Amino acid sequence: MYHDPDLHPAPAPLPAATHGMGISTLRVGLIGLGTVGLGTLELLARQAALVARRAGRPVAVTQVAVRNVARARSLVPAGVAVHADPLALATDPSVDVLVEVAGGTTGALQWVQAALAAGKPVVTANKALLAEHGPALAALARAHGTPLLCEAAVAGCIPVLKALAEGLAGNRILALQGIVNGTSNYILSRMQDAGLDFSAALAEAQALGYAEADPALDVGGGDAAHKLAVLASLAWGVPVPLAHIAVQGIAHLQAADAAAAALLGGRLRLLARAEPLGTLLCAHPQAEPDTPPEALRLSVQPVLVAQAEPLAAVHGVRNAVQITGDACGPVLLTGAGAGAGPTASAVVADLVDLARGHTARAHAWAASQQGQPAASAPLAAEPHLLRVPLDHADERAARSLLPAVLAALEAAGVPLLRLQRLAHGGRLHWLLRTRACSAAAVQAAAAQIATLPGVAGPCTALPVLGTLADLV
């Protein structure tokens, strides 16, 4: 049970409800019966004996609340009550734990608040809710001594919140970076490996149950930003407003970008990255260990990742989070980032911890939502790739454009490292690789170059992580 030593007595496992022959069952009320809800229902049923042994008591879904009651009745076993009113379920005294896996932030906020206020623990997979309403929910959880657990909200099955709050609790965190949106990684992998176009790859991800109800959250980078806000809060113990995260999605990437990545020996990845300003200062032995960072540099953006980097080897729906601690160094956690089974795995792990009375990370998360956010730091200078699509497949015409392209780079203060050519889609593209420079400078150069006669529309600018093969 969530335990605030200032407000509450020592933690105890959840009170046992007695069922049948005196066997106490943790009675779960589930809101939402889509990909994650059905996955959770199915996993709890399939692993009932194993979960009961590990939790010390049976854990069973006893009630569900859904939009379509008739459909739900055909999906749940006999004995599971089906309701149309999630709010009633959230406060029903015969429900021990609320599992919110419906999504959205309006209804979900109301239901989760009602459950917490009624002293009912909550498990949620809803990162949008946590990122948008974290401080209010944490205040309620603290006030009522009620745990809110949310492992499934970040990186699918990967126990990354547990790692941050518990396994790495002795470290100052120096940096976080990772792939935290399964849909985007699936799309980028399919574009590069199978030559699919963006829409076909997105349709596959939706059919597999990876995407949000509104897939713009996935491909626009919003979902990864929600997850980064939760991760960075836990890592540095401060609230992280979404407005502090620089967000760019993948919807503008084209098949030619995947071809450029392949030519250069890299992979396109949507990376979520966070680091405190003045990492070395934060790690200084004389720095107060628990001092919150003055500023956090936070971004979600597509990046060209060199093949030798561990994140380049994370394909398809897989996610990975690399956490660098001052004592442990880099730790890489990887696994399926979306889908019914992997997400249910994390929901069930939270339920088992609740049954055991082990809710250390609920405490850590609630504590992280208090106080003032750190300031927002500008993005770091780093090498970039700029792809310039040309009107022609004709080499001589392409060369004639070069002086104007290079002048635009120079005017924006972007230092050129290497110039290459890509033939793709019946046209030539210039691939301009830069030395470290600001994203703003590259974007300014890209905007200027796109206006030149002979350039075929917008240019793509991508930061480059690691050393591409030809520079090793």
Ligand X SMILES: N[C@@H](CC=O)C(=O)O
Ligand Y SMILES: NC(=O)C1=CN([C@@H]2O[C@H](COP(=O)(O)OP(=O)(O)OC[C@H]3O[C@@H](n4cnc5c(N)ncnc54)[C@H](O)[C@@H]3O)[C@@H](O)[C@H]2O)C=CC1
* Residue ranges that bind ligand X, judged by CB under 6 A: 156, 181-183, 210-212, 218, 223, 337-338
At its nearest, how many Å lie between ligand Y and the CB of residue 398? 44
Q: Is 101 in the site for ligand Y (CB under 6 A)?
A: yes
* Binding partner selected for residue 148 from ligand Y, ligand X, none, CB under the kind-specific 5 to 8 Å limit: none
The C-alpha atoms of residue 216 and residue 101 are separated, in whole angstroms, by 19
Among 89, 123, 140, 152, binds ligand Y (CB under 6 A): 152
The C-alpha atoms of residue 386 and residue 394 are separated, in whole angstroms, by 20
User: Which residue, 32 or 58, has its beta carbon nearer to ligand Y?
Assistant: 32
Among 385, 368, 424, smallest CA distance to 301 is for 385
The DSSP 8-state label assigned to residue 293 in this structure reads P
User: Which residue, 210 or 430, has its beta carbon nearer to ligand X?
Assistant: 210
The C-alpha atoms of residue 451 and residue 458 are separated, in whole angstroms, by 8
Say if CB 230 and CB 127 are below 8 A apart: yes
At its nearest, how many Å lie between ligand X and the CB of residue 223? 5
* Binding partner selected for residue 36 from ligand X, ligand Y, none, CB under the kind-specific 5 to 8 Å limit: ligand Y
* Binding partner selected for residue 412 from ligand X, ligand Y, none, CB under the kind-specific 5 to 8 Å limit: none
Stretch that binds ligand Y, among 100-108, 371-379, 432-440, 442-450 (CB under 6 A): 100-108
Q: Is 141 in the site for ligand Y (CB under 6 A)?
A: no
* Binding partner selected for residue 213 from ligand Y, ligand X, none, CB under the kind-specific 5 to 8 Å limit: ligand Y
The radius of gyration of the chain from alpha carbons, rounded to an integer in Å, stands at 24
* CB-side neighbour CA atoms (13 Å) of 400: 10
Backbone angles phi, psi at 76, to 5 degrees: -95, 150
* Binding partner selected for residue 150 from ligand Y, ligand X, none, CB under the kind-specific 5 to 8 Å limit: none
At its nearest, how many Å lie between ligand Y and the CB of residue 338? 3
User: Which residue, 226 or 424, has its beta carbon nearer to ligand Y?
Assistant: 226
Q: Is 36 in the site for ligand Y (CB under 6 A)?
A: yes
User: Which residue, 209 or 293, has its beta carbon nearer to ligand X?
Assistant: 209
Among 334, 343, 434, 448, binds ligand Y (CB under 6 A): 343
* Binding partner selected for residue 218 from ligand X, ligand Y, none, CB under the kind-specific 5 to 8 Å limit: ligand X
Q: Is 58 in the site for ligand Y (CB under 6 A)?
A: no
From the candidates 120, 127, 162, 227, which is the catalytic residue? 227
At its nearest, how many Å lie between ligand X and the CB of residue 315? 14
Neighbours of 363 (CB within 10 A): 19
The CB-nearest residue to ligand Y is: 34
Say if CB 307 and CB 267 are below 8 A apart: yes
The C-alpha atoms of residue 85 and residue 88 are separated, in whole angstroms, by 6
Q: Is 130 in the site for ligand Y (CB under 6 A)?
A: no
Start-end of H helices in 24-97: 35-46, 48-55, 69-73, 86-91
At its nearest, how many Å lie between ligand X and the CB of residue 183? 3
The DSSP 8-state label assigned to residue 291 in this structure reads P
* Binding partner selected for residue 86 from ligand X, ligand Y, none, CB under the kind-specific 5 to 8 Å limit: ligand Y
* Residue 352 CB contacts under 8 Å (≥ 6 apart), including other chains: 51, 54, 55, 59
**Catalytic site includes residue 127:** no
* Binding partner selected for residue 181 from ligand Y, ligand X, none, CB under the kind-specific 5 to 8 Å limit: ligand X
Burial of 288 (0-12, 13-18, 19+ CB in 10 A): exposed
User: Which residue, 276 or 337, has its beta carbon nearer to ligand X?
Assistant: 337
The DSSP 8-state label assigned to residue 241 in this structure reads -
User: Which residue, 97 or 468, has its beta carbon nearer to ligand Y?
Assistant: 97
Q: Is 333 in the site for ligand Y (CB under 6 A)?
A: no
* CB-side neighbour CA atoms (13 Å) of 168: 28
Stretch that binds ligand Y, among 9-17, 64-72, 167-175, 433-441 (CB under 6 A): 64-72
Q: What are 235-238's contacts with CB under 8 Å, separation 24+?
A: 235/164, 235/173, 235/176, 235/274, 235/323, 236/173, 236/276, 236/292, 236/293, 236/296, 236/368, 236/374, 237/290, 237/292, 237/367, 237/368, 238/292, 238/293, 238/296, 238/368, 238/371, 238/372, 238/373, 238/374
Q: Is 32 in the site for ligand Y (CB under 6 A)?
A: yes
User: Which residue, 146 or 184, has its beta carbon nearer to ligand X?
Assistant: 184
Neighbours of 26 (CB within 10 A): 27
Stretch that binds ligand Y, among 74-82, 210-218, 271-279, 415-423 (CB under 6 A): 210-218
390: left (phi over 0), alpha (psi -120 to 50) or beta: beta
User: Which residue, 306 or 314, has its beta carbon nearer to ligand X?
Assistant: 314
Residue that the structure tokens 């999605």 belong to: 249
The residues annotated as belonging to the active site are: 227
Report the interface residues with ligand Y, using CB under 6 A.
Answer: 32-37, 65-67, 86, 101-104, 107, 125-126, 152, 156, 209-210, 212-213, 338-339, 343
